[in-house]
Amino acid sequence: MYVGRFVVVGPGIGGYRVSSRSFPNRRVADRDGTLTVAPTPDAPPTDNPYVSYNCLRTVDRADGPVAVVGNGSHVDPVTEKLGLGYPARDALALSLLALDFEKDDYDTPRVAGVVGAETATVATVRRDGLVVREVDEPTLVATYEADDPEPFALDADDAAGAARELYDHEFEHAVCAAGVTVGAGGEGVDSAFVNE
Ligand SMILES: NC(=O)c1ncn([C@@H]2O[C@H](COP(=O)(O)O)[C@@H](O)[C@H]2O)c1NC=O
């Protein structure tokens, strides 16, 4: 099955995978702790505005660090609002509604998640609606097919394991993946990615 891009988030752990039929020549790069998706140097030129973006950012809050994952430019305003103290639900709802689904040939939904040490919130904005949901177990939402949040059996317990597990998942056309853990009690954030 092809589901396009997807996030998985649960309390303390999350991840994101790029699956792509149209733009497979991409990879994740780490820029000072922010993970960015971008075309490889040998990728054909494109003017599609949706294929390069920050897919994972973290921010420290009074109640501890949080991580944001997502499939587009909305990751930035979500992170910034979290840094200003907005609740995760509000940061996601405001940012996703402002940017809305992508204006491409598929009305591609935006998907996102916020991971705290003991909390997680998953969200998507599609042409037909906005969903923002707190979750207490790993939960997936994808751009296509699985476009409503659903439970996901994530076995990994560290960032590298999460990135690997999402990358290796049977959903078709894996391109690259990122994983993140957010620890309680000052353990902080760890992130990892897979490019193959
Ligand atoms: N975030 C991404 O990595 C991303 N990659 C592709 N898209 C959009 O989705 C469309 C379909 O891409 P594909 O055939 O690879 O699933 C692309 O034309 C582009 O507008 C993306 N936008 C949202 O997922």
92 phi/psi in degrees, rounded to 5? -70, -50
Nearest protein CA to atom 8 of ligand 1, as residue: 50
CA distances from 177 to 89, 100, 105, 157, 194 (A): 24, 23, 24, 16, 5
Question: Of 3.40.1370.10, 3.30.930.10, 3.60.20.20, 2.40.128.280, which CATH number belongs to 6-41+49-158+176-195?
Answer: 3.60.20.20
Name 156's bridge partners: none
Question: Which residues sit with their C-beta closer than 6 Å to ligand 1?
Answer: 4-5, 18, 20-23, 37, 48, 50-51, 71-72, 102, 104, 106, 108, 143
Query: Can you read off the two tokens belonging to residue 91?
Result: 């940061």
**Domain spans, the chain:** 6-41+49-158+176-195
> Per DSSP, what are the bridge partners of residue 185?
none
- In this prediction, the answer to ipTM > 0.95 reads yes
Q: Tens digit of pLDDT per residue, the chain (196 long)?
A: 999 999 999 999 999 999 999 999 999 999 999 999 999 999 999 999 999 999 999 999 999 999 999 999 999 999 999 999 999 999 999 999 999 999 999 999 999 999 999 999 999 999 999 999 999 999 999 999 999 999 999 999 999 999 999 999 999 999 999 999 999 776 799 999 999 9
> How far is residue 104's CA from residue 107's CA, in Å, rounded to a whole number?
5
> Cα(41)–Cα(43) distance, rounded to whole angstroms?
6
What pTM, to 2 d.p., does this model score?
Answer: 0.98
Query: Given the CA of residue 24, which atom of ligand 1 is nearest to it?
Result: 15
Tokens (6 digits) for 66 = 């949080």
Ligand 1 mean position, distance from CA 104 (Å): 8
Report d(CA 92, CA 99) in Å as an integer. Answer: 11
Handedness of CA 156, 152, 97, 108 (dihedral sign): positive
